[in-house]
Amino acid sequence: MPKLIRPLGTLLALLAIITGIILSAPPSLASTTSPEPTPGATSSAPAEPFQNRISGVLRNADGPVAGVRITATGEGFSGEATTGENGTWSIGVPVQGTYQVEVDVSTFPEGVKLAAGTPNPREVTFVNTSNAAAVFPLGEGIVVQSASFGEIFVERLIAGLSFGLLLALASVGLSLIYGTTGLTNFAHGEMVTVGAVLMFGFSVAGFPVWLAMVLGIALGGAFGWVQDAWLWKPLRRRGTALIPMMIISIGLALAARYTILFNFGGATQQLPGASSPILELGTISISRNTLISLVVSLVVIVLIALLLLKTRLGKATRAVADNPALAAASGIDVDRVIRIVWTVGGVLAALGGILWAYYRPGVTFNMGQQILLLVFAGVILGGLGTVFGALVGSVLVGLFVELSTLWLVADLKYVGALLIMIVVLLFRPQGILGRRERVG
Amino acid sequence: MDFLNIFGNAVGEIVSPTTAAYALASLGLAVHFGFTGLLNFGQAGFMAIGAYGFAIPTLLWDVPFVVGVLIAVVGSVIFALLLGIPTLRLRADYLAIVTIAAAEIIRYVVTTNELTEITGSANGLAAFEGGFYAMNPFPQGTYNFGLTSMNERDIWIRVVAWTLVALCCLLVFLLMRSPWGRILKGIREDENAVRSLGKNVYSYKMQSLIFGGLLGTFAGMIFTLPRGAVQPANYQTELTFFLWTCLLLGGMATVLGPVVGAMIFWVVLSLTQGLLYGAIEAGYITFLTTTQAGQLRYILVGVALMLLMIFRPQGVMGNKKELVFA
């Protein structure tokens, strides 16, 4: 069917061109155009041969501390770095493992001291990302408090809620697509990545942060629109069955992921404002970005819920999800609804990707793939094809992932969520809000 | 550009142990998907169990080669049972998501720093292949085969790997002609019809899952033995998707399809790499770096997977009538 080859090729070419054009701008621009006071450490650091890095910012009450030597040893490797003018430092390491990071106290400027109780050297462990942070609080008289269990619990709870809601952004889109077309879309992770990568590209190209974000989200929606227009709709027309479509989405995911890698590179980049201040709310401390992310995703999800429940379009969407043939018979333009669902799914995934980039923090070519299974877990937990189930399931997964770190080592936190998904399938395969008939 | 060398390398890929491992693991997928209709996206997990199940006891307790293999086999059977119990009663896409999740769970567990003593975390394990090469009957030396030359270890692993592939192909061929295989194909075509004939569909699906998983487990061992090392990064979901590409290239409901598919996959990968790298080094291509050329090949794999599925779902050798989906 030659009718399909052209759009397919155009789709991939377009993806390549968009990311290519945006990312060809010199990355050094990022630090000059960024309105935030502390640009990401990686954008100002020189290129290093390793993709994994340990980094941090050294600052005391007077501002950043420059010229301090920091060493990292472990996994049969040792490297060192010196903090820059803005206090940032970053050490590239060959593998993700555990490292001993030590501040050379003799290189401190006059009057600078490590806060009492700070372990030095301290142990740093990578948690499934290519970036690990090491924090060394400075300042005389500052005592590092060990927070009580209750405080840590509340902090994890807020972080988990924030993480769960950003997962929900992606999973609501996935669930809508599944509900209306029956497709289990394995390329949804790449729709998440595209948002963050495009926002990074636009901000590097000199756009203001808000515009870069809007453009990233808009193009994420365009990616969804284009996918449906040039790939999925022609396939539906051909009567392609669901399992082949699922495998096609895997092919698309591979092609898209490596297209992004091709243009973006394997390094971890930071969005402007990625190193946000820690806010103190009473006794608990939470990063500002985590709170903003929580509010943004909550507002967007409420909007989507209102859209689905109150508007004609939402009603049409639910009708198509329920029974496409009957919806078509009662005068609903099914193809138009599906197109809108893909576009909205793309927008939500792109927004989720940007929030995920702030949450981790960092933009990488495979960041979407990393949460794809958690998104699936959320969708299955709530019930495949139910939008509100996806929301509830994702929040539960997010909470579970963050709260499990209270008992589980951090690099196993995703395992718990995936296990929960399998256990839920064992006892309630239709999910929390699913209907029994949906299960084969 | 040294075309002779590039082609020599590509031809060498046909018999390389990695190709054999891919062929064997794809054959397992053929049993799962092509013959039974089970969507297993966790074959990388079965391969990881083969590799770690063999390497860990060998290093930890210094068990003989055969015992190591047996432990891996038992591990694989247990893994298949754990996977099958919650999912085989459900629709196909649930199995897909659960298998992919289970494979990732295995990868996270062997990567965690908590278990560094046992699994070596991100660095993996090495130096466990001694028992295998101690059985090598080929005398030490260099053997010439026209375009390439090999040492006695290269020959030994190739002979073992391809003998295993041949035996497994024969076994699958015989099994699929047997009444047992007919029931599997019946489940693929119409589960309810088979159930109405009084067969326990759940049990047959489980047997198929275990059998195909075992092929993946053996593939995992063959994959690691020539490397002499096992690293978690090798067992990501991409591996499973490459295996699927091999399977769909060759033909999903055929015995020799996965083998041919794996050979085509690796020859094409090797050829494109050789030609691209050669062209870059010779200065014919200036807009690509060698890293990007490597990534370009995987974009092509993804596109190939899509195009195959859209335009020739039966693969090179398959019969369109035997597709799981019409």
pLDDT of residue B303: 93
Signed CA dihedral, B304, B305, B308, B311: sign only: negative
Q: Crossing angle for the helix pair A288-310 and A312-322, nearest 10 degrees?
A: 80
Asked if A241 and B306 come within 8 Å (Cβ–Cβ), the reply is no
The token pair at B118 is 């046992």
Per-residue burial over A359-376, b if 16 or more Cβ lie within 10 Å, else e, is bbbbbbbbbbbbbbbbbb
For A118-132, what is the mean pLDDT? 71
H-helix segments, A205-287 = 209-227, 233-238, 242-264
Q: Which of A75, A96, A418 sits opposite B105 (nearest CB)?
A: A418
Instruction: Work out the minimum CA distance from B182 to partner chain A, whole angstroms.
Output: 22
Q: Crossing angle for the helix pair B43-60 and B92-111, nearest 10 degrees?
A: 30
- Chain A residue nearest residue B33, CA to CA: A243
Provide the Cα torsion A344, A347, A353, A359; round to 10°.
-90
Confirm if B321 and B253 have CB atoms less than 8 A apart: no
Asked if A421 and B101 come within 8 Å (Cβ–Cβ), the reply is yes
Confirm if B243 and B25 have CB atoms less than 8 A apart: yes
Separation between Cα atoms, residue B161 and residue B237, nearest integer Å? 23
For B295-311, what is the mean pLDDT? 90
* Chain B residues with CB-CB distance to A126 below 8 A: 122
A259 and chain B in contact, CB less than 8 A: yes
Asked if A412 and B108 come within 8 Å (Cβ–Cβ), the reply is yes
How many helices (H) and strands (E) in chain A?
15, 11
What DSSP assignment string belongs to A20-79? HHHHTS-TTHHHHH--SSS--HHHHSPP-S-SEEEEEE-EETTEE--S-EEEEEETTEEE
pLDDT of residue A440: 42
Higher per-residue confidence, A39 vs B71: B71
Confirm if A240 and A303 have CB atoms less than 8 A apart: no
Separation between Cα atoms, residue B230 and residue B220, nearest integer Å? 9
Confirm if B57 and B224 have CB atoms less than 8 A apart: no
Asked if A244 and B309 come within 8 Å (Cβ–Cβ), the reply is yes
Asked if B86 and A423 come within 8 Å (Cβ–Cβ), the reply is yes
A52 and chain B in contact, CB less than 8 A: no
Position B307 pLDDT exceeds 60: yes
Signed CA dihedral, A315, A316, A319, A320: sign only: negative
In degrees and rounded to multiples of 5, residue A333 shows phi and psi of -80, 95
The 10s digit of each residue's pLDDT in A357-367 is 999 888 999 99
Tally of residues, chain A: 440
Position B43 pLDDT exceeds 90: yes
Interface test with A, best of B90, B295, B307, B314 (most A CBs within 10 A): B295
A419 and chain B in contact, CB less than 8 A: yes
* Chain B residues with CB-CB distance to A418 below 8 A: 101-102, 104-105
Q: Crossing angle for the helix pair A288-310 and A149-181, nearest 10 degrees?
A: 30
- Range with the lowest mean pLDDT among A220-224, B162-166, B282-286? B282-286
**pLDDT above 70 coverage of chain A, percent:** 81
**pLDDT above 90 coverage of chain B, percent:** 51
Q: What is the DSSP letter of A105?
A: G
Instruction: Work out the minimum CA distance from B15 to partner chain A, whole angstroms.
Output: 26
Instruction: Work out the minimum CA distance from A15 to partner chain B, whole angstroms.
Output: 12
Position A205 pLDDT exceeds 50: yes
Position B320 pLDDT exceeds 60: yes
Confirm if A385 and A321 have CB atoms less than 8 A apart: yes
pLDDT of residue A100: 79
Separation between Cα atoms, residue A309 and residue A315, nearest integer Å? 7
- Chain A residue nearest residue B241, CA to CA: A250
Higher per-residue confidence, A433 vs B172: B172
Instruction: Work out the minimum CA distance from A164 to partner chain B, whole angstroms.
Output: 18
Q: Which residues make Cβ contacts (< 8 Å) with residue A46, sequence separation at least 6? A: none
Signed CA dihedral, B153, B155, B158, B159: sign only: negative
β-strand pairing of A131-133 with A52-57: parallel
- Chain B residue nearest residue A244, CA to CA: B309
Confirm if B194 and B187 have CB atoms less than 8 A apart: yes
Of all helices (H) and strands (E), which one includes residue A382? Answer: helix A367-382
**pLDDT above 70 coverage of chain B, percent:** 98
3-state secondary structure of A281: strand
For B93-119, what is the mean pLDDT? 88
- A62 pLDDT band (50/70/90 cuts)? low
A439 and chain B in contact, CB less than 8 A: yes
User: In the predicted model, what is the mean pLDDT of chain B?
Assistant: 89
Asked if A241 and B326 come within 8 Å (Cβ–Cβ), the reply is yes
* Chain A residues with CB-CB distance to B45 below 8 A: none
Residue corresponding to tokens 């993709």: A51
C-alpha distances in Å from residue A183, one per residue of A131, A173, A236, A250, A362: 34, 12, 10, 12, 30
In degrees and rounded to multiples of 5, residue B54 shows phi and psi of -85, -45
- Chain B residue nearest residue A427, CA to CA: B86
Q: What is the DSSP letter of A128?
A: S
Higher per-residue confidence, A36 vs A94: A94
Q: Which residues make Cβ contacts (< 8 Å) with residue A371, sequence separation at least 6? A: A167, A170, A189, A192, A356
Instruction: Work out the minimum CA distance from B57 to partner chain A, whole angstroms.
Output: 23
Asked if A414 and B39 come within 8 Å (Cβ–Cβ), the reply is no
Q: Which of B108, B295, B311 sits opposite A414 (nearest CB)?
A: B108
Interface test with B, best of A250, A261, A409 (most B CBs within 10 A): A250
Whether residue B258 is preceded by a cis peptide bond, meaning omega within 30 degrees of 0, is no
- A7 pLDDT band (50/70/90 cuts)? low
Separation between Cα atoms, residue B21 and residue B164, nearest integer Å? 10
Confirm if A83 and A64 have CB atoms less than 8 A apart: yes
3-state secondary structure of A414: helix
Separation between Cα atoms, residue B203 and residue A136, nearest integer Å? 57
pLDDT of residue A29: 36
pLDDT of residue B290: 81
Asked if B96 and A184 come within 8 Å (Cβ–Cβ), the reply is yes
User: In the predicted model, what is the mean pLDDT of chain A?
Assistant: 80
Instruction: Work out the minimum CA distance from A382 to partner chain B, whole angstroms.
Output: 14
3-state secondary structure of B82: helix
For A180-187, what is the mean pLDDT? 91
Separation between Cα atoms, residue B51 and residue B70, nearest integer Å? 12
For A274-295, what is the mean pLDDT? 83
Asked if A246 and B93 come within 8 Å (Cβ–Cβ), the reply is yes
Confirm if B57 and B63 have CB atoms less than 8 A apart: yes
Nearest alpha carbon to residue A177 among A129, A124, A227:
A227
Separation between Cα atoms, residue A146 and residue A141, nearest integer Å? 15
Separation between Cα atoms, residue A224 and residue A73, nearest integer Å? 44
ipTM of this predicted complex?
Answer: 0.89
What DSSP assignment string belongs to B42-80? -HHHHHHHHHHHHHHHHHHT---HHHHHHHHHHHHHHHH
Asked if A255 and B306 come within 8 Å (Cβ–Cβ), the reply is yes
Provide the Cα torsion A405, A128, A358, A38; round to 10°.
110
Nearest alpha carbon to residue A12 among B306, B266, B238:
B306
The token pair at A12 is 């991939």
Nearest alpha carbon to residue A79 among A52, A105, A58, A60:
A52
- A45 pLDDT band (50/70/90 cuts)? very low
Separation between Cα atoms, residue A430 and residue A384, nearest integer Å? 7
3-state secondary structure of A101: strand
pLDDT of residue A179: 87
The 10s digit of each residue's pLDDT in A288-320 is 888 899 999 999 999 999 999 999 999 999 899
Confirm if A385 and A437 have CB atoms less than 8 A apart: no
pLDDT of residue A96: 74
Cβ atoms within 10 Å, residue B289: 12
Most confident of A150-164, A334-348, B6-20, B120-134: A334-348
Asked if B105 and A409 come within 8 Å (Cβ–Cβ), the reply is no
Q: Which of B90, B104, B307 sits opposite A425 (nearest CB)?
A: B90
* Chain A residues with CB-CB distance to B94 below 8 A: 380, 425, 429, 439
- Range with the lowest mean pLDDT among A27-41, A233-247, A337-351, B253-267? A27-41
